[in-house]
Chain A
């Protein structure tokens, strides 16, 4: 097949990826969008299989069978609560694949020097190969560390040691020197693989200091890197569809990274290199809570809910940990059946990756129309009769609005304190990631329902059923 036809096919594939992503702008068109993307991939792969340089199909078919089997099993078996780990590991695989493909291209060039290789050795080739290996190595090892933290295999806190920034700077300089050697000795693979090893160490050191609460940012950023690594490999192979598809993924990851940073009111530099300082000052828990916290019972909550016209449920990751989604769905059905309007206020960092909470609620059969983002739900809290907060803390802490000295000052929050009554389901008054007390728990319109999220909701459901007869 002529290279002109191949490139047209690649253009169609790239267009299908763009249409596919466009489909993701609405839940109704999203399934079709995903299928269009898959169709684009199929077209790109089939066209590539017809390439004249391919002399044997055994290795390719074996690889596709093995990889397809593993991918299918992962996709079917994965629990929705574990989606962040799956995305993290997929990011890593993308990065490693880029390292290997760029490394193989470098070897081929060395073998084919003087023959009719399609790939020309020049500084641009060397720099593109460098970029594939460098970004790929950071992505692969960084993703493995992120996976370990999310899965609870490694310390999910922030691990720091004196001089960690200096070590990273030194490693970066070594990587740049090796990159320079790649340009100087373009037909040797040795500087490339040495560079990949050093970049691997840098990738590990890059993610280790970042705490578990910041993993949504890291996973989004590594998602972007996995795309950029593929795009860099596109520059190595002079392949348009690799560049377009990789760049689309790179753009997507960067947008999500920015959204997550905004939701935590922190800069990307602060997440990656700074520390989230737990300030000593500010009011103590005793000053905030002393004698003002009112505990409630499921029976009392049921009575409140019976008279409520408008209910808002604010889920945090604690709800997912307690596996309370299905109990929440039952409560939702009961209240809606009783004529109340029930909506969910979802903070961007409510789950452990962008949009995670929405998926967990969708899995529990909550209609997506009832899932409202922060900007959508905030103006309506004044009309809400009862707000139920399950397993969320910092994202509903009014201090973010009121105290400019607080560590979470300026962080966008859900204004649950504006609703008539707030029920907070929580095991204790322990602080969230920010380590500060939450005056919401002591507010006049707030009632604490202490206990496990799932059990509390189940008891609430029972009482509401009795109440409604």
Chain B
């Protein structure tokens, strides 16, 4: 299998899993789902880290730095605010 077919396979299978799992999330938790998604899409942070750390040119390092800041806002902010909301649902147990 060539490399494109391989990454494309990963993409399609992940889409199937995503639809299966997320269709079961109840409407009550749709807002935490969205903020949690924000945190997960912060995975772009690892691409940003590679750009900022490799420092090929000052320009790529600069773009990498801004991307690290933005992605970390999403990761930290996303997981924290999701946790804050979910605790509100939890303490009624």
Contact = CB atoms under 8 A, between A and B. Distances in A.
A pairs with B: yes
Interface of A: 14, 17-18, 20-22, 24-28, 30-31, 34-35, 37-38, 41, 44-45, 48-49, 51, 53-57, 59-60, 62-64, 66-68, 70-72, 74-76, 78, 80, 83, 86-87, 90-91, 93-94, 96-98, 100-101, 103-105, 107-108, 111-112, 124, 219-220, 223, 226-227, 229-231, 233-253, 255-256, 259, 346, 348, 351, 353-356, 358-359, 362-363, 365, 367-369, 371, 373
Contact of A59 (B34, B36, B42, B64): B64
Given A64-B68, A248-B14, A59 B30 contact: no
Given A31-B83, A71-B76, A243 B14 contact: yes
A368 B81 contact: no
Nearest to B4: A124
Where chain B touches its partner, the secondary structure class is helix
B48 A97 contact: yes
Given A26-B26, A93-B73, A108-B51, A365 B92 contact: yes
Contacts of A17: 40
A71 B31 contact: no
**Residue in A31, A223, A252, A348 whose Cβ sees the most chain B Cβ within 10 Å:** A252
Given A48-B49, A97-B67, A111-B56, A250 B81 contact: no
A75 B33 contact: no
A40 B16 CA distance: 20
Given A68-B76, A112-B56, A248-B17, A87 B50 contact: no
A104 B60 contact: yes
B58 to A, nearest CB: 10
A355 B33 contact: yes
Contacts of B21: 18, 21-22, 25, 248
Given A51-B50, A54-B49, A227-B37, A104 B63 contact: yes
B79 A359 contact: no
14 contacts: A20-B40, A21-B18, A30-B90, A54-B50, A67-B68, A74-B73, A105-B47, A108-B57, A241-B43, A248-B17, A255-B23, A259-B27, A351-B31, A362-B89
B1 interface: no
A71 B34 contact: no
B49 A353 contact: no
A75 to B, nearest CB: 4
A245 B40 contact: yes
Contact of B52 (A22, A59, A90): A59
Nearest to A63: B68
B41 A245 contact: yes
B40 A71 contact: no
Interface string B50-93: 11111111011101111111111111111111111111111011
Given A31-B86, A67-B70, A74-B81, A368 B92 contact: yes
A160 to B, nearest CB: 28
A101 B68 CA distance: 9
Given A25-B21, A59-B61, A362-B88, 6 more contacts: A27-B28, A41-B43, A63-B69, A93-B73, A104-B51, A252-B34
A362 B43 contact: no
A355 B75 contact: no
A18 B76 contact: no
B77 A71 contact: yes
Contacts of A108: 51, 54, 56-57, 60
**Residue in A44, A90, A251, A256 whose Cβ sees the most chain B Cβ within 10 Å:** A90
A163 B53 CA distance: 46
Contacts of B65: 59, 62-63
Contact of B67 (A41, A104, A250): A104
Contacts of A373: 26-28
A37 B31 contact: no
Nearest to B17: A18
A248 B79 CA distance: 16
Contact of B44 (A14, A80, A101): A101
A66 B81 CA distance: 17
Contact of A41 (B10, B18, B29, B40): B40
B33 A371 contact: no
A343 B88 CA distance: 18
A414 to B, nearest CB: 13
B22 A252 contact: yes
Nearest to A258: B23
B60 A107 contact: yes
Contacts of A38: 39, 79
B46 A44 contact: yes
Contact of B22 (A49, A240, A251): A251
A20 B29 CA distance: 13
A230 B84 contact: no
A67 to B, nearest CB: 3
Given A67-B71, A108-B54, A78 B88 contact: no
